[in-house]
């Protein structure tokens, strides 16, 4: 599985520019799909099965990044705008990659002054893409992603864009296990532009009109020093979302997910997230409302180039999703949290 994670996380796909990764995923899903299509916004939609309940499973392809928006006239250094939620304290010295492979280095213009302790916006940063001739190779309007090689430390995998390529891995591995057989009409949707407003999920849900939806995404781990009080730890199983700031999971759906995990001996944790949300927040609002759950992959250092997951948790998420989409979808009315 590591090779698949490495391939997907190291792909270049900032929000709105997911085309390279979409092409890769499209080839990967073909052997397991009854139908593969791309909608008007760029979501990759993979259907398995026909008839019965329509179930939409969403994992987003895009990652946070930046876009060059101004070249300083004297130095040529690039100023930039964020694509998604940047952590400014992580930017100085970070590398970014533009679509043509050009590597840029981010710098704070006052790293030894105020920049050592505070970084409140992008105005104090610039990107160096100068070559040996002094020429700048990047045009204004060019997007870039943060660049770092994906590596492994025991069962831990560390890299950029785990958010949400690891959700794409869970979807892909579930597709493989289903081997083209499904009792329901399943739509695995690899969505676009999640990091800039859940846009792809909103469009996909309107087009597919699912009876039920499940989002796949990362969640913060509560086992970092001075971390928020979150009951989620690396290595302790799939995180079943109870609530975040954009989504309260319906009790009957929540109970169904927890009951399925317990029935099949799948390790799980309950996730209550005080900040952030997922594609589920958009999926639930389609048409007259869609019952929506979320399986989260515990992740340390979210929105950095060293997002860290545990393979045991990833496998637990695959196991849980596989059993959920194979179940009769008979939801109970009492949640067991």
Could you list the active site residues? 194
CA distance 66 to 80: 6
- Per the DSSP assignment, residues forming a β-bridge with 241 are 271
CA distance 190 to 301: 23
Half-sphere exposure of 241 (CA within 13 A, CB side): 30
Buried b vs exposed e over 82-120: b needs ≥16 C-beta within 10 Å? bbbebebebbbebbbbbeeebebebbbeeeeeebeeebe
Q: How is the chain split among helix, strand and coil, in percent rounded to 5?
A: 25, 30, 45
Number of Cβ atoms within 10 Å of the Cβ of 207: 18
CA distance 157 to 174: 20
CA distance 170 to 322: 9
């Amino acid at each position: 599985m590591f090779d698949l994670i490495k391939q997907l996380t190291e792909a270049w796909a900032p929000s709105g520019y997911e085309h390279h990764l979409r092409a890769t995923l499209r080839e990967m899903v073909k052997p397991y799909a009854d139908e593969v299509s791309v909608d008007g916004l760029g979501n990759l939609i993979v259907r398995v099965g026909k008839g019965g309940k329509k179930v939409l499973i969403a994992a987003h392809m895009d990652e946070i990044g930046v876009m060059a928006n101004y070249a300083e006239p004297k130095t040529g250094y690039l100023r930039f705008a964020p694509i998604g939620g940047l952590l400014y304290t992580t930017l100085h010295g970070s590398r970014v990659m533009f679509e043509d492979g050009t590597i840029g280095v981010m710098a704070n213009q006052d790293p030894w002054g105020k920049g050592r302790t505070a970084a409140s916006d992008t105005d104090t940063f610039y990107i160096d893409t100068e070559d040996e001739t002094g020429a700048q190779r990047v045009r204004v309007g060019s997007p870039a992603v943060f660049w770092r090689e994906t590596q492994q430390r025991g069962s831990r995998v560390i890299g950029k864009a785990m958010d949400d390529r690891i959700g794409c891995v869970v979807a892909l591995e579930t597709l493989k296990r289903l081997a083209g057989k499904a009792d329901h009409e399943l739509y695995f949707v690899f969505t676009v532009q999640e990091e800039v407003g859940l846009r792809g999920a909103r469009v996909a849900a309107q087009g597919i009109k699912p009876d039920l939806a499940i989002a796949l995404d990362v969640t913060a781990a509560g086992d970092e020093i001075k971390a928020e009080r979150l009951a989620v730890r690396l290595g302790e199983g799939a995180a079943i979302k109870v609530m975040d700031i954009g989504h309260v999971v319906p009790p009957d759906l929540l109970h169904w997910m927890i009951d399925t995990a317990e029935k099949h001996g799948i390790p799980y944790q309950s996730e209550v997230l005080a900040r952030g949300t997922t594609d589920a927040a958009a999926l639930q609002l389609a048409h007259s409302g869609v019952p929506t759950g979320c399986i989260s992959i515990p992740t340390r250092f979210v929105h950095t180039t060293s997002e860290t997951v545990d393979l045991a948790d990833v496998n637990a998420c695959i196991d849980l999703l596989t059993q959920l989409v194979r179940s009769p979808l008979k939801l109970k009315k009492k949640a067991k949290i």
